Amino acid sequence: MATAPRIWEKLETIDARIIYLILWIVILWPFIYPIGLPVSIGSYSLAYAKAIDDLPAGSIVVVSFDFSLGGLGELYPIAIATLHHLFTKPVKIVIIAIWSDGAIVADMVLKDLKPDQPPYNRKYGEDWIFLGYAPGGETAMAALGKDFWSTLPTDYYYKKHVSTYPIMQNLRSANDVTLLVSLETGTPGADEWVRQWYVPYKVPMIVGCIGVMAPTVAPYLAGGQVKGMLPGLRAAAEYELIIGRKGLGVASADALSTSHMVFVIFVILGNISYFMRRRSK
């Protein structure tokens, strides 16, 4: 019987590399042998999609890429799905970045989607525009809210003055914006947008964020400052199902299941070994 506590002790001090290896295996496995579990859809994802569906024709939507490349795994599927959804609607889309990495990702997403080509056929400068990165964080948000033309005077791709594009004729300040979509990994993000765009201009906002951010956005959701939220990869999968375009989010669903389940098993095992060892003492 004396061996029993030793087993629990050993289990508690297991080489971390074994845990790492197991995690590698359980995440790789479902990509090689997919399970295809259904993904139930949450209310926030529905609200996020509805905010875009309800946009009147001709509305100006500002999509801000407020994230670092570190958030790519969660936000890339959200960004692709959101822009796809927007490009299928008769609205004007202005893409900006408050984080410098955000400009890279926006460029990647746009190169993947190719909005100028079918099925979208949206004209650059008329239906959409990419203005690039505005440094300064919250200060840049405030400056953009006041004056788009002066804060981002040229576009990202052609370096032409924004006044030469038809889409920019109706966009001078945040007062002209119907919806703000912030795709974000941290600060500056929702807090700052609410401070600089919701408080003075009452611009409605939806947020696609990494999971870590979700709990801090919750008070804005409950208070009505944020209309909808996609927190992380699970929500990305839900949103892809809502808009009928399966992508990286749905493809990740099985790996999300296996990794989370293994995580829970590790927590349970860790607690069992802890209590067994404590009891034996």
Partner 1 sequence: MSLLRRVEIPIAITIIFALIQVIPYFVNMGPAVEATQDKVVRWTLIVSTGALLVGLTSLLLIHVPRVTRRRTHWEYSLLLIAFMFLMTIIGLPFPELNLGLTGYWFSFFYNNVLTPLSASLYAILAFYITSAAYRAFKARSLEAALLLISGTILVLRNAPLGTFLIPQIADLGDWIFNIPNMAVNRAIMIGGGLGAMVLGIRVLLGYERGYLRGGE
Partner 2 sequence: MSVELFGVLLGVFFTLAVYTFLYRENPYSRIAEYVFIGAATGYGIAYDLDWLKNQWVGTWSKTMEDSILFVLALLLAVLWYFRFSKRYFFLYRIPLAITVGTYIGLALRSVVFAQVIEQVRSTAALKVVGIDPWTAFNNLVTMIIVVCTLAYFTFTVRQEAAFWKPVNKFARYAMMIGFGSAYGYTVLTRMSLFIGRVQFLLGIPPNPPEAKMFFPWVALVLLGTLLGYDYYKKTKK
125 lies in the binding site for partner 2 (CB under 8 A): no
Q: Using CB under 8 A, which of 28, 147, 163, 279 touches partner 1?
A: 147
**Nearest CA to 141 among 83, 96, 102?**
96
Alpha-carbon distance of 236 to 15, in angstroms, equals: 34
Distances (CA, A) of 120 to 85, 93, 110, 113: 10, 13, 12, 9
Residues 6+ apart with CB under 8 A from 187: 137
218-247 residues in contact with partner 1 (CB under 8 A) are: 218-219, 221-223, 232, 234, 237
Alpha-carbon distance of 181 to 167, in angstroms, equals: 18
Alpha-carbon distance of 279 to 273, in angstroms, equals: 10
Q: Using CB under 8 A, which of 46, 216, 243, 248 touches partner 1?
A: 216
Please, what is the minimum distance in Å from the beta carbon of residue 245 to partner 2?
12
Among the residue ranges 1-9, 54-62, 85-93, 100-108, the one whose residues contact partner 1 (CB under 8 A): 100-108
Encode 227-254 in three state secondary structure.
EEEEEHHHHHHHHHHHHCCCCHHHHHHH
148 lies in the binding site for partner 1 (CB under 8 A): no
What are phi and psi for residue 182, nearest 5 degrees?
-110, 125
- Number of residues binding to partner 1, judged by CB under 8 A: 67
Among the residue ranges 51-59, 162-170, 175-183, 207-215, the one whose residues contact partner 1 (CB under 8 A): 207-215
Site string for partner 1, 53-82 (x = CB under 8 A): ---------------xxxxxx---------
Q: Using CB under 8 A, which of 115, 198, 204, 207 touches partner 2?
A: 198
- Number of residues binding to partner 2, judged by CB under 8 A: 61
Look at the chain and count its residues: 281
25 lies in the binding site for partner 1 (CB under 8 A): no
H/E stretch holding 9 reads: helix 3-12
Give the DSSP per-residue string, 171-188. Answer: -SSGGG-SEEEEEESSSS
Given the complex with partner 1, which of 2 and 15 has the nearer CB atom? 15
Q: Which residues of the chain form contacts with partner 2 (CB under 8 A)?
A: 17, 20, 23, 27-28, 31, 70-74, 76, 80, 100, 103, 112, 132-135, 138-139, 142, 150, 152-154, 159, 161-162, 191, 194-196, 198-200, 210-215, 218-219, 222-225, 231-234, 248, 251-252, 255-256, 259-260, 263
